[in-house]
């Protein structure tokens, strides 16, 4: 198992401090306070110091602790700042993200900084596949794709990307990020992920890259219910049917509390029918945690991942 953190050379992002179930972060020129249930320790800086530095703070609402509503609440502006602003990620070709304080009253701002190592991996794997067949663009499918950072990384590397999310406003946000990054030709799909994957399998469509970041709970555009515990194994089995058996890659990311990296590895091994004796010969599999280190060297683990390369 490996631990990965965002590059310290990323000029537009810093985790300044964490603790008491919150994190203090700098996105570009602006500093935000957001809830973080995994920050069980004490803050290194005082509350007064946090408030003197921050431009805005998100507070949990009445839905705190309720499934599907953990991220709801309100933003309180502490210093003047715009409703929207931009940051860049240079390492994978100069990606740009338009940030804003949620589609409605949610704590997310449009990018998950701890995912930067996955963007790098997706960029590198796409380049590897192109190198195997010069001039042929690999097909990459990004499921539960949110505002599209992983889609941009694959597209920037030269893939034909299909970006799928069930929320129309989020897909529009992703399109804005594509345009800011001076990229084009991403295919946009507003659909229930499981339904789409099953349909692609029936059509015989195959992808050389699959990226998945499924939530704990969610709904498709027609009210389809998604519950990670009940559907993840079935979903991964369906995904395996549309993944090229050779010269392909898969990235699975899980944020759900209680899911371990070892559990995620077992799910991928089982779903894709991988034979452990073939590891290192016909495929490579890595798994671990994505984390951020604050300025006081407190490591904040945020998600688990599995990466399959063939």
Residue whose tokens read 């609440």: 73
Separation between Cα atoms, residue 47 and residue 183, nearest integer Å? 42
Question: E strand or H helix at 49, and its extent?
Answer: helix 47-53
As a whole number of angstroms, the distance between CA 122 and CA 117 comes to: 9
> In 3-state terms, what secondary structure has residue 3?
strand
Q: Are 300 and 289 in contact (CB under 8 A)?
A: no
Tally the C-alpha atoms within 13 A of residue 310's C-alpha that lie toward its C-beta.
Answer: 20
Q: What SS3 class is residue 161?
A: strand
| Two tokens, residue 167 | 């929320």
**What is the model's pLDDT at position 127?**
96
Yes or no: say if 175 and 188 are a contact pair by the CB < 8 Å rule.
yes
What is the reported pTM? 0.94
CATH of 113-309, one of 3.40.50.300, 3.30.200.20, 3.30.420.40, 3.40.50.150: 3.40.50.150
How much is the pLDDT for 136? 87
Task: Determine contact, residues 165/190, Cβ cutoff 8 Å.
Answer: yes
For strands 30-35 and 56-60, give the pairing.
parallel
On the CB side of 270, how many CA atoms lie within 13 Å of its CA?
10
CB 172 within 8 A of CB 194: no
Question: What does 99-155 look like in DSSP terms, one character per residue?
Answer: EES-SSSBS--S--GGGHHHHHHHHHHHHHHHHHSTTPPPEEEEES-TT-HHHHHHH
* CATH 2.60.40.1180 domain locations along the chain: 2-100
Distance in angstroms (rounded) separating the CA atoms of residues 290 and 254 = 10
Q: Which residues of the chain have pLDDT under 70?
A: 62-71, 102-104
Packing angle of the helix pair 116-132, 149-157 (nearest 10 deg): 30
Four-residue CA torsion sign, 98, 57, 69, 257: positive
Which residues of the chain are in CATH 3.40.50.150 domains? 113-309
Thinking of the domain 2-100, which architecture would CATH place it in? Sandwich (2.60)
Residue 28 DSSP class: T
Q: What are phi and psi of 147, to 5 degrees?
A: -90, 10
Distance in angstroms (rounded) separating the CA atoms of residues 48 and 55: 13
Sign of CA dihedral 186, 192, 197, 202: negative
Condensed to tens digits (0 to 9), the pLDDT of residues 76-107 reads: 999 999 999 999 998 887 899 999 986 667 89
């Amino acid at each position: 198992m490996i631990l990965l953190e965002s590059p310290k050379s990323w000029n537009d992002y810093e985790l300044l401090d964490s603790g008491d179930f919150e994190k203090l972060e700098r996105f570009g020129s602006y500093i935000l306070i957001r809830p973080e249930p995994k920050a069980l320790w004490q803050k290194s800086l005082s509350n007064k110091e946090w408030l003197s530095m921050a431009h805005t703070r998100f507070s949990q609402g009445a839905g705190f602790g309720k499934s599907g509503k953990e991220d709801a609440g309100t933003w309180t502006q502490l210093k003047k700042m715009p409703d929207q602003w931009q940051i860049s990620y240079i390492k994978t070709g100069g990606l740009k993200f338009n940030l804003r304080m949620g589609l409605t009253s949610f704590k997310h701002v449009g990018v998950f900084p701890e995912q930067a190592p996955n963007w790098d991996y997706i960029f590198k794997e796409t380049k590897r596949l192109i190198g195997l067949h010069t001039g042929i663009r690999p097909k990459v499918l990004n499921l539960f794709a949110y505002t599209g950072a992983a889609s941009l990384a694959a597209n920037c590397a030269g893939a034909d990307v299909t970006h799928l999310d069930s929320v129309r406003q989020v897909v529009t946000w992703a399109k804005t990020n594509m345009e800011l990054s001076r990229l084009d030709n991403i295919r946009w799909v507003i659909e229930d992920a499981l339904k789409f994957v099953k349909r692609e399998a029936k059509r015989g469509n195959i992808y050389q890259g699959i990226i998945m970041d499924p939530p704990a709970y969610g709904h498709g555009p027609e009210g389809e219910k998604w519950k990670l515990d009940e559907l993840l194994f079935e979903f991964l089995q369906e995904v395996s049917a549309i993944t090229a058996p050779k010269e392909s890659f898969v990235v699975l990311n899980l944020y759900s509390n209680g899911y371990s990296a070892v559990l995620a590895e077992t799910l991928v091994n089982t779903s894709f029918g991988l034979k452990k004796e073939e590891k290192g010969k016909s495929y490579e599999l890595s798994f671990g945690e994505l984390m951020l280190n604050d300025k006081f060297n407190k490591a904040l683990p945020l998600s688990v991942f599995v990466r399959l390369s063939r």
